Amino acid sequence: MIGVSLKMYFGYQQTLDWATAIEKIASEHPAVKAGVAEVFILPSFPALESTASICADSAISFGAQNLAEADAGAYTGEVSGPFLAEVGCRYVEVGHAERRALFGETDQVVRAKTAAAFRAGLTPVLCIGELERTDPDSAAALCIRDIEDALSDADFSNRGPAPLLVAYEPQWAIGAPAPAEPAYIADVCQKIRGYLESRTEFVGRVIYGGSAGVGLITALGTTVDGLFLGRFAHDPEAVRKILDEVGELSV
Ligand SMILES: O=C(CO)COP(=O)(O)O
């Protein structure tokens, strides 16, 4: 699973050119064709509709970087889960470290947005990760506590197991020159995976984000379900190389 959030780096046309390039690379890639790699992209809201056209009948999917807590109403400037689903989003990011640090999103907000995503039938890309570098046991314990907390308002009663994507993003590794060490990532993600497997209301997978780029998935192997890329996916050729790596891992 290779996801990319563009954050707010690109302009509109730049986003569409990039999405077109990624769609072409992914849909022609043997790892995607063989079903061993999946790609999703998360552009800014105003590019979603054009991204839907680019991704129509394609192997790649798309989603949004944020959603409102409520489904409809007097919430100026917000975008609801049902709106995103109607545009064709499959994924929506919830609780990214930048939303928490820069826009005051609390645990309560993350709970409400996670519940809203599930209500709309979207797969939350639930971002969690420790603030400061620590040991893998402490990091995993904190992540599992945050996942449990984020899910605590979600209603799973009306359907079969819902898909959930956990993005393990140690906050100290976001926007850094290099990712966390592969052994550290693998240890934390294996523990998160163990927790996700113990829950039956949802089917959870865990991807790593935080300065992820070419070479990392080869080092991590199958200890993670994929990567959540930021800056290092701005060059579409880097995404091609990462898909090559995924293909090599599966043989
Ligand atoms: O936060 C991230 C993905 O959402 C990671 O971003 P960078 O890879 O640019 O550090």
Query: Hey, whose CA ends up nearest to atom 6 of ligand 1?
Result: 230
**Is ligand 1 within 6 A of the CB of residue 213?**
no
CA of 93 to the centre of ligand 1 (A): 12
pLDDT at position 139 is 98
In single-letter form, the type of residue at position 198 comes to: S
Is-contact 25 244, C-beta < 8 A?
no
**Is ligand 1 within 6 A of the CB of residue 171?**
no
**Is ligand 1 within 6 A of the CB of residue 169?**
yes
Is 78 noted as a catalytic residue in this protein? no
Best residue for ligand 1 mutational test, from 229, 232, 239 (most atoms within 8 Å of Cβ)? 229
Whole-model pTM? 0.97
The total of other beta-carbon atoms located within 10 Å of residue 141's CB is 16
pLDDT at position 251 is 81
Nearest to 142 by CA among 166, 162, 122: 166
pLDDT at position 37 is 97
**Is ligand 1 within 6 A of the CB of residue 79?**
no
Contacts of 179 (CB under 8 A, 6+ apart): 173, 185, 208, 210, 211, 212, 213, 216
Of 23, 96, 98, 130, catalytic: 96
The atom of ligand 1 lying closest to the CA of 93 is 4
CA of 210 to the centre of ligand 1 (A): 5
Nearest to 65 by CA among 5, 118, 14, 128: 5
Is 234 noted as a catalytic residue in this protein? no
**Is ligand 1 within 6 A of the CB of residue 175?**
yes
**Is ligand 1 within 6 A of the CB of residue 5?**
yes
Q: Please name the residue that has the structure tokens 């994924």.
A: 91
Q: Tell me the ipTM for this assembly.
A: 0.98
CA of 96 to the centre of ligand 1 (A): 10
The atom of ligand 1 lying closest to the CA of 173 is 10
CA of 160 to the centre of ligand 1 (A): 31
User: How would you label 15-48 residue by residue, b for 16+ Cβ within 10 Å and e otherwise?
Assistant: bbebbbbbbebbeebebbeeeebbbbbbbbeebb
Regarding beta strands 123-128 and 91-94, do their DSSP bridges make them parallel or antiparallel, or are they unpaired? Answer: parallel
Digit-by-digit pLDDT tens for the chain (251 residues) are 999 999 999 999 999 999 999 999 999 999 999 999 999 999 999 999 999 999 999 999 999 999 999 999 999 999 999 999 999 999 999 999 999 999 999 999 999 999 999 999 999 999 999 999 999 999 999 999 999 999 999 998 877 889 999 999 999 999 999 999 999 999 999 999 999 999 999 999 999 999 999 999 999 999 999 999 999 999 999 999 999 999 999 88
